[in-house]
Amino acid sequence: MTPIQRFRLSLLLIFLLTGGGTLGYREIEGWGWVDSLFMTVITLSTVGYQTVHPLDRAGLFFTMALIIVGVGALGYAIATLSEMILEGHLQHFWGGRKMERMIDKLENHVVVCGFGRIGTLTAASLAERGIPFVVVEENPDLVKEAVARKYLAVMGNATEEGVLGKAGIDRAQALLVTLSTRVADAAYIVMSSRIDHPGLTVIAMANDSRTEAKLLKAGANKVVSPFILGSSRMVMALTQPTLLDVMDIVTTRDGMGLTFEELVIPEMSPFCDLSIAEIGKKFGFRSHIIAIRPVGGKNFVLPTAQSVLRALDQIVLIGSRDEFDRIREEMAGNREPRVLS
């Protein structure tokens, strides 16, 4: 039992003693409710006031018993409260309530299941990009580590009912399952989340192709294997080191100001029904569109200057971060086009 639970128990005991003492004086001495309550309070608190009315023999024995039990309960409550203050449990309790209120205010956030090696790196990347998220972890030490990094966290097993609810899964945009060594738990979390929240984006981690297949069948939108990615990068470092260096530059936020970006062409956008060449000339973009996924399609196509963009097409660009904000505004028709001379 935690110190907070023991303190709650001591308060409940004091409350019951107060009620029992009030009823006892009323039944034994025949006093009114107010006099009985007053006598109980001064007896439990041992303040030393004189009795409200003279006590008979039964009232004296009842008062002695109430003093003994009451002093013990008060001493237990004070000792538990002191332990909470000295060990920081009280601060942790109030901090937990504050964190719960912060989580309750989140919308369109990401829920990260697991704060192991991959989960820690995933959370750090989300924090770096300013994406709101909540960590779900059952290991108390890892939860403390997450809180120490100023992350929102929920302690509990994500397979248990209600734990993901505390993380706001019903308001989240995505669920990231990083439990690579606990395949059964990961599959259950993916499957239950898919059933309860059909529109949720679920991304899971797997160590091998068999686990990947199971997670996809369970309802994951995508499955990532760090071992497959790692082996591919090792071969690329051997055979295509320059290409790997370029990819590292554009996939990190501190590399030469370049990055990849994925955008969707809005309906009624000024980009609709224009070729890439026409868009570049009309809007003065320096970024390059390197892939297009037509609306309703599953595969990307490599574009040419004559490729025409349609509403709801997905495009992948490479360029500067500063320009992407301008592209979003002009894509939505919020800015006047800047024509290249």
Q: Which two tokens stand for residue 208?
A: 């091998």
Percent of the chain scored above 70 by pLDDT? 89
The alpha-carbon radius of gyration of the chain (Å, integer) is 32
Other beta carbons within 10 angstroms of residue 251's beta carbon come to 11
Residues 121 and 204 in one domain: yes
Using the predicted structure, report yes or no on whether residue 59 has a pLDDT greater than 80. Answer: yes
Asked if residue 112 is part of any domain, the answer here is yes
Q: If DSSP codes are grouped into helix, strand and coil, which group holds residue 169? A: helix
Helix ranges (H only) for the chain are 3-29, 33-45, 57-87, 89-104, 117-128, 140-148, 163-166, 183-196, 209-218, 226-239, 241-251, 276-283, 321-331
Q: Give the pTM.
A: 0.63
Q: Which two tokens stand for residue 69?
A: 């039990």
The per-residue pLDDT for 281 is: 86
Residues 299 and 324 in one domain: yes
- CATH number of the domain bearing residue 193: 3.40.50.720
Asked if residue 235 is part of any domain, the answer here is no
Among residues 332, 58, 213, 257, which one has the least CA distance to residue 66?
A: 58
Q: If DSSP codes are grouped into helix, strand and coil, which group holds residue 64? A: helix
Q: Which two tokens stand for residue 18?
A: 């107060």
Domain boundary among 205, 229, 253: 229
- CATH number of the domain bearing residue 327: 3.30.70.1450
Q: Which two tokens stand for residue 35?
A: 């006099």
Residues 161 and 263 in one domain: no
Residues 130 and 214 in one domain: yes
The per-residue pLDDT for 57 is: 83
- φ, ψ dihedrals at 51, nearest 5°: -65, 150
The per-residue pLDDT for 25 is: 84
Q: Which two tokens stand for residue 316?
A: 């992948």
Asked if residue 236 is part of any domain, the answer here is no
Residues 159 and 207 in one domain: yes
Domain boundary among 206, 229, 252: 229
Residues 135 and 219 in one domain: yes
Among residues 214, 212, 240, 250, which one has the least CA distance to residue 228?
A: 212
Residues 6+ apart with CB under 8 A from 179: 113, 114, 116, 158, 185, 186, 189, 205
Domain boundary among 229, 258, 278: 229
Using the predicted structure, report yes or no on whether residue 111 has a pLDDT greater than 80. Answer: yes
Rounded CA-CA distance 286/111 in Å is: 35
Asked if residue 341 is part of any domain, the answer here is no
Domain containing residue 259: 241-331
Rounded CA-CA distance 87/2 in Å is: 12
Rounded CA-CA distance 36/5 in Å is: 30
Asked if residue 293 is part of any domain, the answer here is yes
The residue type found at 324 is: F
The residue type found at 5 is: Q
Residues 184 and 246 in one domain: no
Residues 325 and 252 in one domain: yes
Place of tokens 């955008």: 263
Among residues 84, 43, 79, which one has the least CA distance to residue 64?
A: 43
Q: Which two tokens stand for residue 314?
A: 């997905």
- CATH number of the domain bearing residue 34: 1.10.287.70
Number of domains in the chain: 3
Q: List pLDDT tens digits, range 71-93.
A: 888 777 777 776 665 555 544 55
Residues 48 and 134 in one domain: no
Residues 133 and 219 in one domain: yes
Asked if residue 27 is part of any domain, the answer here is yes
- φ, ψ dihedrals at 69, nearest 5°: -70, -40
Asked if residue 124 is part of any domain, the answer here is yes
Residues 193 and 121 in one domain: yes
Residues 36 and 81 in one domain: yes
Q: List pLDDT tens digits, range 248-305.
A: 877 766 555 678 888 999 988 999 999 999 988 888 888 889 999 998 888 888 999 9
β-pair type (222-224, 258-264): unpaired
The per-residue pLDDT for 86 is: 55
Using the predicted structure, report yes or no on whether residue 113 has a pLDDT greater than 80. Answer: yes
Q: List pLDDT tens digits, range 28-57.
A: 888 889 888 888 888 877 776 677 788 888
